[in-house]
Amino acid sequence: MMAAPDHDETPAAGIDALPRAIAPPPGLEDRIVADLAARGYVRRVRRRWVDAAAAAVLVAVGAGLGTIWSRPAGDPRPAYLLLLYPGANPDLDPPAEAEAVREYGSWAGRLRAEGLAISGERLADGAAIVPSASAGTDGAAVQGFFVLSAGSAAEAAEIARTSPHVARGGIVVVRAIDTPR
């Protein structure tokens, strides 16, 4: 026959003897995240360093190509790169995206009609990372760019403020293109 426990022993003493952590079955987290993603509750997040490196590569390529393609021969004004980063709602449905593309085209067309040299492109998702290393940016992917000639950095920033990208909640970073003198 077993002896009755002492009155000093409490139920908590038995609980303290239980293991503190129990490892979940292998792959459980991946299955849960996949199920939540399939239901539209979460989006898979890419590694930030991949986005950062892709942004750095796209900036370099965009700056180089933009300088070649957008500057009319003999334009004495400095060139500026307008980098378009996503805002609060980067994902648009196809009709809304088509409307946004029209807005950007109309905006650039109005600036050209005013005598400004401007060109731009929307960038596709994904990039080749060469070499694959962290680029030291905040990880936001560049969505597109414009290259324009303006009289000063202040003028370029003022033009950027009028862009549909800013009106839609996006962020525009204005960078002077360093051209050899």
Fold of 48-176: Alpha-Beta Plaits (3.30.70)
Domain ranges of the chain: 48-176
pLDDT at 155: 93
pTM of the full structure:
0.54
* 120/81 Cα distance (integer angstroms): 9
pLDDT at 22: 72
pLDDT at 96: 78
Mean pLDDT by 10 residues, the chain (181 residues): 57 68 76 79 61 60 52 70 78 76 89 88 72 51 86 93 88 86 55
